[in-house]
Chain A
């Protein structure tokens, strides 16, 4: 690459995952109807109870209205113009890096992700959800030795129906909200994990999601159950090709932490954000929620750099006494991206504790909203919450908004909220540049410093990736 081309690429800040993979796909017809729901269920060879559940959700959804209370603005979505199921035709599985799209390999090289990591992310060694179905899940045997189940959601329905029946919808019921209900009707795949009593999962479990086909929605569903005293750390990553039309992603994640269990759930979300003028990009409307029983802990960490619109509130229902909920978030919006994200911490049990650290970064015309609820119910004696919401603005055309809702019904509760808004100053940039650090690198450094509290919560290897992602997402945002 010539120096000029390299420079151009650097300053224009192009999305590095914008390729399309030419794979034959098995799709259902465009649009949504009871017939489509049945067809999806049939294609997956699901048992009757699963189809029943989907149909109940679909019928409920028909009577629901798309929510409008968030700060995000987008043209009306035509739900009849979406393909609800698209699966790569089963031709061959990826067995080695040689078979991975060289474009993808190049993108990973640009990110500086080591080969082992590339393999994982490329779907050679983890559960990879490509468009709608799970392509490959490995390490299964090693995990099975400890009794850990980690597989695609479809497999779980077949092989572990009792667990799925017991916990599916137990945290996010199919009636929950417009997008979650839609997901319940048409979800095509996703991941399932079960960690047995007292087992500490020996490795990070991770899922890599990718939307490939045009006009398809992706509706994956993740269910993680950590049995008593167990521990699991789970990571999801997401990318999508560049397209000038918008694509819908409406996922549901349910976490169940039984007494004494710990679930750490990390997300690095890098869906296609649209181009610099705001054309295209993923609509990311996601419902994530965990239920924490006695002495258990649920920790959400998210780095949200992608999507045209992000609408998600990973939440914790702190049901059991002494349970702990955490939410660490970095949301970055550049160009015309919009993010409305935050968390809900519902304190039900006694001495429940929650921590919220939210870092919003806005550049270009980006709009970034923190929306959070801390709710302390009557019985939550001695509940405590600490919230910190910081916003960083780059340039003068972007916006940051904070909506912290606090409802306290128990007088012994302690709730603290701190918020700051700052701007990357010319002074900071000049200071770095005077020391020899190029402007783009300086912005990246300042932003990473701002987000450090959250990034340090990520598993090591992903913290490195997330740091680079933050820098890349801001390319072209200064000067």
Chain B
């Protein structure tokens, strides 16, 4: 049984960069336990949505509301959102030279725990936890001592994002193009990691350009974005249709969103 209450509720969201509006009135409801895929052509606003939800300050929200467990998410700093359980797997994970991967992850882990009034883990206990989670993404133990993302291959960076997610155990995970630049083996490892983290109390928003990822991470709902809003929504079959017909189809004559919603079982 899934809890019926909305975890994330986005209403009429408009946001952009330096006077240019990218999101133009976006609505989305996500319940705990659900996996939503957001697809769409380049420039449709997928990554902007991910950034706005995580609190990236380059974006300005001009209208609309976002609530997370009933709380106004947009009023919170990025770190407070993290404390509430919002996690963004970055499309381009950032390198931090000289800062050990495990040290970084432990600092984040304990910062979240502290902010939640929970007990912090010492280095030894944390290492045990992290090592166990590293198996999930088949990560070599040598990653622990390397600097955060420095000199990592594209695949290693993405696996590192999933490792962070596995350790930080967010309530809402937003995966921004987690498949970009991955070969098929790396894609499978990342997808397996994500699938292992699916849970009734956790929701995921999977942002992707390609249907390919959805062969591995099977979503409950698929939404298609164009020009800064969701133009159609449906089940997994919508992704397949997109694959066949391309994005031109939705951009030109979007099928009515309501119909797609009602068609859902």
Is A427 part of the contact surface with B, judged by Cβ < 8 Å? yes
Establish whether residues B104 and A445, one from each chain, have CB atoms under 8 Å apart when the complex forms: yes
Is B152 part of the contact surface with A, judged by Cβ < 8 Å? no
Is B147 part of the contact surface with A, judged by Cβ < 8 Å? yes
Is B82 part of the contact surface with A, judged by Cβ < 8 Å? yes
List the B residue with the shortest CB-CB distance to A430: B56
Establish whether residues B57 and A450, one from each chain, have CB atoms under 8 Å apart when the complex forms: no
Partner of B107, one of A431, A437, A452: A437
User: For B98, what are the chain A residues with a Cβ–Cβ distance below 8 Å?
Assistant: 448-453
Partner of B79, one of A427, A438, A445, A449: A438
Is B83 part of the contact surface with A, judged by Cβ < 8 Å? yes
Establish whether residues B97 and A433, one from each chain, have CB atoms under 8 Å apart when the complex forms: no
Q: How many Å lie between the Cα of A222 and that of B230 in the bound state? A: 72
Q: How far is the CB of A422 from the nearest CB of chain B, in Å?
A: 8
Is A434 part of the contact surface with B, judged by Cβ < 8 Å? yes
B82-106 interface with A by 8 A CB criterion = 82-83, 87-88, 90, 92-94, 96-99, 104-105
User: For B79, what are the chain A residues with a Cβ–Cβ distance below 8 Å?
Assistant: 433-434, 436-439
Q: How far is the CB of B111 from the nearest CB of chain A, in Å?
A: 4
Establish whether residues A433 and B96, one from each chain, have CB atoms under 8 Å apart when the complex forms: no
Is B58 part of the contact surface with A, judged by Cβ < 8 Å? yes
Is A426 part of the contact surface with B, judged by Cβ < 8 Å? yes
List the A residue with the shortest CB-CB distance to B88: A434
Partner of B82, one of A427, A436, A441, A453: A436
Partner of B96, one of A426, A431, A438, A453: A431
Q: How many Å lie between the Cα of A426 and that of B87 in the bound state? A: 18
Is A435 part of the contact surface with B, judged by Cβ < 8 Å? yes
Interface centre among B55, B87, B94, B112 (most CB of A within 10 A): B94
B214-244 interface with A by 8 A CB criterion = none
Contact of A449 with B54 at beta-carbon distance under 8 Å, contacts A436-B82, A436-B83, A437-B79 already known = no
Q: How many Å lie between the Cα of A426 and that of B164 in the bound state? A: 20
Q: How many Å lie between the Cα of A449 and that of B105 in the bound state? A: 14
Establish whether residues A437 and B97, one from each chain, have CB atoms under 8 Å apart when the complex forms: no
List the B residue with the shortest CB-CB distance to A427: B94
User: For A425, what are the chain B residues with a Cβ–Cβ distance below 8 Å?
Assistant: 94
Is B261 part of the contact surface with A, judged by Cβ < 8 Å? no
Establish whether residues B82 and A428, one from each chain, have CB atoms under 8 Å apart when the complex forms: no
Q: How many Å lie between the Cα of A433 and that of B57 in the bound state? A: 11
Establish whether residues B96 and A435, one from each chain, have CB atoms under 8 Å apart when the complex forms: no
Partner of B115, one of A426, A431, A436, A453: A436
Is B108 part of the contact surface with A, judged by Cβ < 8 Å? yes
Is B12 part of the contact surface with A, judged by Cβ < 8 Å? no
List the A residue with the shortest CB-CB distance to B107: A437
Establish whether residues A434 and B107, one from each chain, have CB atoms under 8 Å apart when the complex forms: no
User: For B104, what are the chain A residues with a Cβ–Cβ distance below 8 Å?
Assistant: 432, 435, 445
Q: How many Å lie between the Cα of A421 and that of B56 in the bound state? A: 25
Give the contact-size bracket for chain B. Answer: 20 to 34
List the A residue with the shortest CB-CB distance to B56: A430
Q: How far is the CB of B120 from the nearest CB of chain A, in Å?
A: 12
Is A446 part of the contact surface with B, judged by Cβ < 8 Å? yes
User: For A438, what are the chain B residues with a Cβ–Cβ distance below 8 Å?
Assistant: 79, 111
Partner of A433, one of B82, B87, B105: B82
Is B42 part of the contact surface with A, judged by Cβ < 8 Å? no
Establish whether residues B99 and A433, one from each chain, have CB atoms under 8 Å apart when the complex forms: no
Partner of B99, one of A430, A436, A448, A453: A448
Contact of A430 with B78 at beta-carbon distance under 8 Å, contacts A435-B164, A446-B96 already known = yes
Q: How many Å lie between the Cα of A452 and that of B99 in the bound state? A: 8
Q: How many Å lie between the Cα of A438 and that of B115 in the bound state? A: 10
User: For B55, what are the chain A residues with a Cβ–Cβ distance below 8 Å?
Assistant: 433-434
User: For B147, what are the chain A residues with a Cβ–Cβ distance below 8 Å?
Assistant: 449
Partner of B111, one of A427, A431, A436: A436
User: For B58, what are the chain A residues with a Cβ–Cβ distance below 8 Å?
Assistant: 426
List the A residue with the shortest CB-CB distance to B115: A436
User: For B148, what are the chain A residues with a Cβ–Cβ distance below 8 Å?
Assistant: 449
A433-471 interface with B by 8 A CB criterion = 433-439, 441, 445-446, 448-453
Q: How many Å lie between the Cα of A148 and that of B222 in the bound state? A: 77
Interface centre among A430, A432, A434, A450 (most CB of B within 10 A): A434
User: For A453, what are the chain B residues with a Cβ–Cβ distance below 8 Å?
Assistant: 98
List the A residue with the shortest CB-CB distance to B58: A426
Is B66 part of the contact surface with A, judged by Cβ < 8 Å? no
Q: How many Å lie between the Cα of A426 and that of B70 in the bound state? A: 29
Establish whether residues B168 and A435, one from each chain, have CB atoms under 8 Å apart when the complex forms: yes
User: For A435, what are the chain B residues with a Cβ–Cβ distance below 8 Å?
Assistant: 82, 104-105, 108, 111-112, 164, 168
Is B77 part of the contact surface with A, judged by Cβ < 8 Å? yes
Partner of A449, one of B90, B96, B111: B96
User: For A431, what are the chain B residues with a Cβ–Cβ distance below 8 Å?
Assistant: 90, 93-94, 96
User: For B164, what are the chain A residues with a Cβ–Cβ distance below 8 Å?
Assistant: 435
User: For B56, what are the chain A residues with a Cβ–Cβ distance below 8 Å?
Assistant: 430
A172-186 interface with B by 8 A CB criterion = none
B27-56 interface with A by 8 A CB criterion = 54-56
List the B residue with the shortest CB-CB distance to A431: B94
List the A residue with the shortest CB-CB distance to B77: A433
Partner of B78, one of A433, A441, A446, A451: A433
B170-189 interface with A by 8 A CB criterion = none
User: For A446, what are the chain B residues with a Cβ–Cβ distance below 8 Å?
Assistant: 96, 99
User: For A445, what are the chain B residues with a Cβ–Cβ distance below 8 Å?
Assistant: 96, 99, 104, 107
Q: How many Å lie between the Cα of A424 and that of B111 in the bound state? A: 21
Establish whether residues B94 and A428, one from each chain, have CB atoms under 8 Å apart when the complex forms: yes
Q: How many Å lie between the Cα of A430 and that of B168 in the bound state? A: 17
Q: How many Å lie between the Cα of A78 and that of B52 in the bound state? A: 57
List the B residue with the shortest CB-CB distance to A446: B96
Interface centre among B58, B79, B92 (most CB of A within 10 A): B79
Q: A residues touching B (Cβ–Cβ < 8 Å)?
A: 425-428, 430-439, 441, 445-446, 448-453
**What would 15 more interface pairs be, CB under 8 Å, given A430-B78, A438-B111, A449-B96?**
A430-B54, A431-B96, A432-B104, A433-B55, A433-B82, A434-B82, A434-B87, A434-B90, A435-B112, A435-B164, A441-B111, A445-B107, A449-B98, A450-B97, A452-B98
Q: B residues touching A (Cβ–Cβ < 8 Å)?
A: 54-58, 77-79, 81-83, 87-88, 90, 92-94, 96-99, 104-105, 107-108, 111-112, 115, 147-148, 164, 168
A-B contact pairs, 10 of them (CB 8 A): A430-B56, A434-B88, A436-B108, A436-B111, A436-B112, A445-B99, A448-B99, A449-B148, A450-B97, A453-B98
Rank and list the top 8 A-B pairs by shortest CB-CB distance, nearest first: A449-B98, A449-B99, A435-B108, A436-B82, A452-B98, A431-B94, A433-B78, A436-B112
